[in-house]
Amino acid sequence: MPELPEVEITARRLSTALGGAEIESASAPGMVAMKTFDPPLEALAGRTVTGVRRIGKMPVVELSGDLALLVHLMSAGRLQVFDRRASARDRASRVLIRLADGRELRLREFGSRQRAWAKLLPSDRVSEDEMVATLGPEAWPAPRLEDFAALIDQPRQLHPLLRDQRAIAGIGRSWVDEILWEARLSPFKRGSELLEAEVEGLHRALGVLGRALEHYERVIGETVPDKLPMPLQVHRREGEPCPRCGTTIAAVHFKEHQANYCPEEQTGGRLLKDRRLSRLLK
């Protein structure tokens, strides 16, 4: 799933590629993708794309005439520009924005589930949208240490807490593993249990997001590929040696995802139980 660094680089590249492009027409082949109907998608005809930005994990396509398309990619969506128009049989198409120069901006979604969505809103309403208004502060650039310390001071485990967009925006299943590994903290430690130095270390560890973005700026050209070259050290590296200490990276498997960590540096040598079998573990 695209998280803050992936959506940020996507927004930057799309903004460069699309800035000033005139829209010919727009449609939504994914019947359930558009979550708003007023203004209608047809209102995009004749407008220009003025830029693409990011809020949390959501790209926002800014349009002339003070409209904005707020997009949620969910787990398998991609927002990409193509030189040619999509075939009517492209079942991955959810929203198509045809440009006057022949190109096309597409919200596509891989897999059979239709979960990605878009909302066409007046620009000044974006911040009031429920998906935006409920977001915590952006994880990058990192919030001030005092603010971060306050939001992390909850009796909830760090792994779900850092992924809770209402607590802090932009972190998902991949980067949470990297941030916790960087901070040498257990995924299941509770936010309110952290010592002051641990809070500071976790705050510093948010820097991995900025470094990921710098990496993407170096390696990604004009077009963002389907599969991004994510600079991950521990996520999905179960069984491989920890890049810092050589201990075998372990995993906790959940129904739809896994958490990876270094037992030596993050859990005092303990292996955490598999969450598919056991729901409670301190």
Tell me the window of 37-45, 66-74, 126-134, 261-269 that interacts with Zn ion (CB under 5 A).
Answer: 261-269
| Torsion angle, alpha carbons of 35, 37, 40, 44, to 10 | -20
Q: Give CA–CA dist 276/252, Å, rounded.
A: 9
Q: Is 81 in the site for Zn ion (CB under 5 A)?
A: no
For residue 78, which of 42, 103, 41, 105 has the smallest C-alpha distance?
Answer: 105
- The token pair that represents 43 in the structure block: 């209102």
180 binds Zn ion (CB under 5 A): no
Q: Which is nearer to Zn ion, 23 or 272 (CB)?
A: 272
Half-sphere exposure of 125 (CA within 13 A, CB side): 14
Residue 169: φ, ψ to 5°: -95, 135
Dump strand ranges (E) for 47-140: 49-55, 58-63, 67-72, 77-82, 93-99, 104-109, 117-122
Number of residues that bind Zn ion (CB under 5 A): 7
User: Residues 56, 165: contact at Cβ < 8 Å?
Assistant: yes
Cα(161)–Cα(179) distance, rounded to whole angstroms?
Answer: 12
Which CB sits closer to Zn ion, 10 or 174? 174
CB of 246 to Zn ion, least distance (A): 7
Q: Going residue by residue from 214 to 253, which x/- string records binding to Zn ion, judged by CB under 5 A? A: ----------------------------x-xx-x------
Residues 122-141 that bind Zn ion (CB under 5 A): none
Q: Which stretch binds Zn ion (CB under 5 A): 16-24, 30-38, 191-199, 264-272?
A: 264-272
Asked if 262 is part of the footprint of Zn ion (rule: CB under 5 A), the reply reads yes
Q: Does 265 interact with Zn ion (rule: CB under 5 A)?
A: yes
- Candidate ranges 20-28, 74-82, 200-208, 254-262; the one touching Zn ion (CB under 5 A): 254-262
Q: Measured in Å, how far apart are the chain's first and last C-alpha atoms?
A: 28
- The burial class, CB within 10 Å (0-12 / 13-18 / 19+), for 112 is exposed
- Please report how close the Cβ of residue 243 comes to Zn ion at its closest, in angstroms: 8
- C-beta nearest to Zn ion: residue: 242
Q: Determine the distance from the C-alpha atom of residue 132 to the mean position of all C-alpha atoms in its chain, rounded to a whole number.
A: 14
Minimum CB separation of residue 247 from Zn ion in Å reads 5
Q: In the complex with Zn ion, which residue's Cβ is closer, 64 or 258?
A: 258
Least distance to Zn ion, CB of residue 178, Å: 13
Q: Binding of Zn ion at residue 185 (CB under 5 A)?
A: no
Give the interface with Zn ion as residue ranges (CB under 5 A): 242, 244-245, 247, 262, 264-265
